[in-house]
Amino acid sequence: MEFDKDLQARQEARLLLRRAEEAQKQLAQFPQEKLDAIVKAVADAIYGAAAELADMAVRETGFGNVEDKVTKNRFASRTVWESIKDMKTVGVLKAPPGEKLWEIGVPVGVIAAIVPSTNPTSTVCYKAMIALKAGNAIVFSPHPKAIACTLRAAKIAAAAAEQAGAPIGSIGCLSIPSMDGCRELMQGQQTRLILATGGPAMVRAAYSSGKPAIGVGAGNGPAYIHHSADLGHALDCIVRSKTFDYGTVCASEQSIIVEKSMEEAVRREGAAKGLYFMNTQEAGALAKLLFKPNGTLNPQIVGKSALTLAQMAGFSVPGTTKVLVAREQEAGPTRPYSMEKLCPVLAFFVMDSEDAVLHKAVEVLTHEGSGHTFAIHAADEAVVRKFALQIPVSRFLVNTPAALGGIGATTGLFPALTLGCGAVGGSSSSNNISPLDLINIRRVAWDKGETPAPDADLVELLTQKILQRLR
């Protein structure tokens, strides 16, 4: 019975949280060196299982492709480890000589982590590593469409962590797909923080749980190709990004915006690189597949190749097609191409001027994607500065594939699979989330020995105000 399943899921969540709480009490006592050894063991284990987990994820979800998911798993293990291995997260972080102030890193406690179906195994590795690095225990809630591969990744990570000295329960994972179980996990007494990566409804649930949460908003990043750009390189970046795991990375481009003077060259060069510019009928046929009548993304199109999408929509394209492109001019709920599409499909906006491009980019992001990611291809630093000062995003990427640049694979950003969108995007952080987002800072402050004399006029003013209130 469904009722019994929900009860079992809630009980499982409670049990995992209790185990995690006991484990975290021990982790909180571990020195940095011991935590680092545990994290490295997790990284090595997932790196070694990268191909197995990638294959499981594609077979179970039907999203993306094995080759790129292998790359994601290796990125989430080896690349993340290289970025955090020398990071100080617990104990005394700062104690500057001569200053009477110390900063001490303190774990937040037990973390509840929501795992998306688009990145089900790499997310487990990344979140487990940044949690353990900061002395926290973590319990995962898989997406129902990715339960087996997520559970497998969590078990591999947990076994490696325990072998390296982590207490049992440091890494847990729900095995029963149930919203009741997920809610129990997020609202549990032991939960101190929620790391929410998933759809808008799940992120809203995390923020409304009554617990501190780090959630991420939708990605819907435009890519502006400026007339000063190396056009060939720009298009290579966009194609590489949009085809990576068939468009399932939320930082990937969702539209190309150009000035009218660039339209013909972009169409010509783009066609040579695998962009297929759909006619009105083809774009209309595909548009009907992208979203459900209620406005949510159709999961049947997520992570599918351009050739498969064209076939599903009932039209044929050259075998060399890598990305489908639809001409668009407006943004809004009735314009499916102006929204996030987790597949190799792009909108193509053609504007009359640079200022019109800026206005359109802001319009697109205001509709969906505020705070997330924007990409620009330009050699002119003045235009980069102009747009960077006005575009409402947390990641402003220059001359790089957005999917890879946004997660820090091709840029200097912290390597991460949880990308904060800041207040403008409804997120509590604008960071690429790292272990430093999963600790509290305890500040130890001494008296400076410089007690200032009270200002007589200020004291008199405050006294009068207090007397007025008492009357």
The strand pair at 393-398 and 110-114 is best described as unpaired
The strand pair at 345-351 and 323-327 is best described as parallel
Residue 123 and residue 146 in contact, taking contact as beta carbons nearer than 8 Å: no
Annotated catalytic residue 250: yes
- CA geometry: angle at 397 spanning 409 and 203, to 5°? 75
Residue 252 and residue 467 in contact, taking contact as beta carbons nearer than 8 Å: no
Nearest to 182 by CA among 16, 296, 299: 16
The CA distance from 351 to 367, in Å, is: 18
The amino acid that residue 140 corresponds to is F
Nearest to 115 by CA among 206, 40, 18: 206
The strand pair at 345-351 and 255-259 is best described as parallel
Catalytic residue among 173, 237, 250, 421: 250
Nearest to 226 by CA among 272, 268, 265, 275: 265
Rounded alpha-carbon distances, angstroms, from residue 4 to 1, 289, 335: 5, 36, 42
The residues, any chain, with a CB within 8 Å of residue 357's CB and separated by 6 or more, are 224, 257, 258, 259, 349, 351
Nearest to 50 by CA among 78, 80, 85: 78
The CA distance from 461 to 438, in Å, is: 44
Please report where in the chains the tokens 């409304």 appear, as a residue: 208
Q: Which residues are catalytic?
A: 250
